[in-house]
Structure 1
Amino acid sequence: MADPSPRPVAALRAEVLSHAPLNAEYRHLVLRAGAPASGARPGQFFQLLCPAPPGEAPFLRRPMSLYGADPAGDTVEFLYKVTGAGTRGLATLAAGEALDILGPLGHGFSLDPAWRSVVAVGRGAGLATLAPIARAARAAGIGVTAVLSARRPELVVSEDLFRAEGARVITVTDQEGTSGPAHVERLLRGLVAEGAADAFLTCGSARLLRVQQRLGREFGIPGQVALEQQMACGLGMCFCCVRDFNEDGGIVHKRVCWDGPVFDMREAVA
Structure 2
Amino acid sequence: MLQQTMELPSASSAGEKGCCSVPTFSVAENICLVKSNEWVNGEYKHLVLDADDVALTALPGQFFHLQCPPGAQGEALLRRPMSLYRVNQSAREVEFLYKVQGRGTGGLATLVSGDHLNALGPVGKGFVLPANTKHVLLLARGVGLATLTPLAEFARAMGASVTAVLSARSHDLIMSADYLRGVGASVRVVTDEDGTSAISNVDALIRDEHSEQPFDFVATCGSNRLLTLLQDVSRELGITGQIAVEQHMGCALGACYACVRPFRKGPETEQLTYRRVCWDGPVFDLQETVSW
Equivalent-residue separation in structure 1 for 2:290 and 2:102 (angstroms): 27
C-alpha contact (below 8 Å) 1:113/1:140 kept by paired residues: no
Task: Please give the per-residue CA displacement for 1:171-224, whole angstroms capped at 9, x wherever unaligned.
Answer: 000101011111111011112212331111111111111111111111110001
**Residues 75 and 107, structure 2, Cα contact 8 Å, conserved in 1:** no
AA aligned opposite 1:94:
V
User: Does 2:234 match 1:213?
Assistant: no
Structure 2 gaps of 5+ residues are 1-11, 13-17
- Indicate if the aligned counterparts of 1:109 and 1:224 stay in contact, CA closer than 8 A: yes
**1:257 matched to 2:278:** yes
In 1, are the aligned partners of 2:46 and 2:95 still within 8 Å (CA)?
A: yes
Quote the residue 1:87 is aligned against. 105
Equivalent residue, structure 2, for 1:168: 186
Contact 1:67 1:79 in 2 (8 A): yes
Q: 2:173 matched to which residue of 1?
A: 155
Gaps of 5+ in 1: none
Aligned residue for 2:52?
A: 34
With structure 1 as the length reference, what TM-score do the two structures score?
Answer: 0.96
Aligned residue in 1 for 2:288: 267
Tell me the residue number matched to 1:136: 154
| CA distance in structure 1 between the partners assigned to 2:99 and 2:228 by the alignment | 25
* Cα distance in 2, alignment partners of residues 71 and 10 from structure 1: 18
In structure 2, the residue corresponding to 1:178 is in which secondary structure?
coil
Partner secondary structure for residue 9 of structure 1: strand
After the TM superposition, which residues 203-242 of structure 1 pair with which residues of structure 2 at under 5 Å, given as runs?
203-242=221-260
How many residues end up aligned between the 2 structures? 270
Deviation for aligned residue 1:112:
2.2
Shift of 1:55: 6.3
* 3-state DSSP of counterpart to 2:162: strand
- On the 8 A contact 2:73/2:103 being kept in 1, the answer is no
Q: Distance in 1 between matches of 2:28 and 2:90?
A: 18
1:8-157 alignment runs, 5 A limit = 8-54=26-72, 56-157=74-175
The question of 1:243 aligning with 2:261 is answered: yes
* Cα distance in 2 for residues equivalent to 1:107 and 1:157: 25
Higher RCO (CA 8 Å, separation ≥ 6 residues): 1
Q: CA RMSD in A?
A: 1.4
Distance 1:177 1:231 in 2: 35
Cα gap change, 1:218/1:45 in structure 2, threshold over 3 Å: closer, same or farther?
A: same
